[in-house]
Amino acid sequence: MTASVVYNGQLRCQATHNQSGSIIETDAPTDNRGKGERFSPTDMVCVALGTCVITTMGIKAQDMGIDLSGTTQDIQKHMVSDPRRIGKIDLIVRLPKTLNLSEKDKTILQRVGDNCPVMKSLSPDLTVNLVYEW
């Protein structure tokens, strides 16, 4: 098993990564009866996308002899209703200006990020605006 989840009541869950014992807690968002004191499950989907994009880019970058340390991201989730779901994710990937990558390297890394496993797992009804700032 990948993880074990316990519902702790009051719209909170605790997920344990079985291999490492690492723990993540979630809370319902304030616009859906929660306290908003932790990531919501839909926040986690957006964060999963962002971390997957940069992780897969990082794997390819290692093969290319490039260090992506210091890369940052801004993630914005947009909810829609009927049914309530994530309608759009805005994701900006900001790579360090000191990288001085060639256009070829940028194209390769962007292609890898655009095709990460989480991206490929999301519904085609979800709009993802993925921007790379080199």
Q: What is the pLDDT of residues 55-90, one digit of tens each?
A: 999 999 999 999 999 999 999 999 999 999 999 999
How is residue 100 annotated by DSSP? -
Residue 36 confidence (pLDDT): 92
DSSP string over 11-76 = TEEEEEETTT--EEEEE--GGGTS---SB-HHHHHHHHHHHHHHHHHHHHHHHHT---TT-EEEEE
% of the chain at pLDDT higher than 70:
100
> Residue 91: which pLDDT band, with cuts at 50, 70 and 90?
very high
Identify the residue whose tokens are 């290692």: 62
Contact yes or no for 15/4 (Cβ under 8 A) = yes
Residue 52 confidence (pLDDT): 98
Q: What is the pLDDT of residues 4-43, one digit of tens each?
A: 999 999 999 999 999 999 999 999 999 999 999 999 999 9
Note the pTM of the prediction, 2 decimals: 0.94
Contact yes or no for 70/96 (Cβ under 8 A) = yes
Question: 118 — phi, psi (to 5°)?
Answer: -65, -45
The count of residues in the chain is: 134
Residue 55 confidence (pLDDT): 98
Strand partners, 24: 15
